[in-house]
């Protein structure tokens, strides 16, 4: 599992940063990618990465400001032009369906694959055997959401040596036992896999935020997260300006990570006033409060 940052700038692109987009690499888990936000120029950034748009399974939009959605119509069309026929699900606030369908219809674009658009409400937005995704509203100028991605717990390690010592032959039965099931041996014994499994492996938790000033739901989303991805649009001394525009400062973001018990914080969404050198100050301000802070940059990859 990896996080690939395609754009880490706020508002407008710069020579050093594109606008918001982030991809979760789930090739090992489900042979797909999930995208969070799709600002203008996102598909150009993809060309410089290992991401394959045909493997995009889900796109989650945090809010409808242009620097988070203006890349969507082009990306969806390019996926079609590449000949993809695999389904794609798009999640986003109310209005995302009208935006996408209007852009595609007026441009005469068509898709070669099924596109499902789900306009989300607060709460659980998707769940399967591997992942559960919850969205909660944040505090911004327009409706903005944060996403909590929870991986299902994995079965503990199968004690193969103990099975062999108990006379269980190696073969397909091991796989069933590893899943916690039961098998009956040729001698009539019934073996319960639960008796041979170690402790379950806790699934990972990610919290990926849209634009927001400090709010109560942020703590809920980030609680005990393995990784928290959050904006730090401005430095600590500019809190009034940041909050009045629905954004957070370094200090506010780091304090949230600390209060939530997050294990890691990755900061992103930097104002264009900060070049690459100047933005190091933002990192330092966060690390003074939450030492486990890392700073995202365009095309940076973080292994989870």
Q: Is 48 annotated as a binding residue?
A: no
Query: H/E element holding 165?
Result: helix 160-165
Find tokens 């609680």 and name the residue.
Answer: 223
Q: Does residue 63 have a known ligand-binding role?
A: yes
State yes or no: 269 annotated in a binding site.
Answer: yes
44 marked as part of a ligand binding site:
no
Tokens standing for 154? 């994995």
Instruction: Name residues whose C-beta falls within 8 Å of residue 164's C-beta, 6 or more positions apart in sequence.
Output: 170
Q: Is 187 tagged catalytic?
A: no
For 68-80, give one letter per residue: b (16+ CB within 10 A) or e.
Answer: bbbbbbbbbbebb
- Measured CA to CA in angstroms, residue 285 lies from 27, 240, 241, 249, 276 at distances of 34, 17, 17, 9, 15
Measured CA angle at 302 (ends 243, 268), to 5 deg? 15
65 has binding-site annotation: yes
- Residue 67 marked in a binding site: yes
Phi, psi of 34 (to 5 degrees): -115, 135
Q: Check 37, 67, 187, 224 and give the catalytic one.
A: 67
| Distance from C-alpha of 27 to C-alpha of 262, rounded to nearest angstrom | 25
Q: Please tell me whether 128 is known to bind a ligand.
A: no
The Cα 212–Cα 137 span in angstroms is 9
State the DSSP code for 119: E
Which segments are annotated as binding site? Answer: 63, 65, 67-68, 140, 211, 269
Active site amino acids: 67
Binding residues for Zn(2+): 63, 65, 67-68, 140, 211, 269
């Amino acid at each position: 599992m990896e996080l690939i940052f395609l754009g880490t700038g706020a508002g407008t692109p710069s020579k050093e940063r594109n606008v918001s987009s982030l991809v979760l690499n789930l090739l090992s888990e489900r042979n797909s990618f999930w995208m969070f936000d799709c600002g203008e120029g996102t598909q150009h950034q993809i060309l410089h990465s290992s991401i394959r748009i045909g493997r995009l399974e889900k796109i989650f939009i945090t809010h409808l400001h242009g620097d988070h959605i203006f890349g969507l119509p082009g990306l969806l069309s390019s996926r079609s032009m590449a000949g993809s026929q695999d389904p794609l699900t798009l999640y986003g606030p109310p209005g995302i369906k009208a935006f996408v369908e209007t852009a595609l219809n007026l441009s005469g674009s068509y898709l070669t694959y099924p596109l499902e658009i789900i306009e989300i409400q607060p709460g659980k937005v998707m769940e399967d055997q591997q992942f559960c995704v919850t969205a909660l509203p944040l505090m911004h100028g327009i409706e903005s959401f944060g996403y909590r991605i929870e991986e299902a717990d994995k079965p503990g390690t199968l004690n193969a040596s103990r099975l062999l010592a108990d006379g269980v032959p190696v073969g397909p039965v091991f796989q069933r036992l590893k899943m916690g099931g039961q098998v009956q041996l040729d001698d009539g014994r019934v073996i319960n896999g639960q008796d041979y499994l170690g402790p379950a492996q806790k699934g990972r938790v990610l919290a990926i935020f849209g634009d927001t000033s400090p709010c109560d739901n942020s703590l809920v989303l980030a609680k005990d997260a393995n990784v928290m991805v959050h904006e730090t649009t401005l430095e600590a001394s500019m809190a009034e300006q940041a909050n009045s525009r629905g954004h957070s400062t370094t200090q506010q973001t780091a304090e949230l990570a600390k209060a939530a018990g997050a294990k890691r914080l990755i900061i992103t969404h930097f104002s264009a006033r900060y070049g690459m050198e100047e933005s190091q100050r933002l990192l330092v301000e966060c690390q003074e409060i939450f030492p486990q802070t890392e700073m995202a940059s365009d095309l940076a990859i973080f292994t989870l």
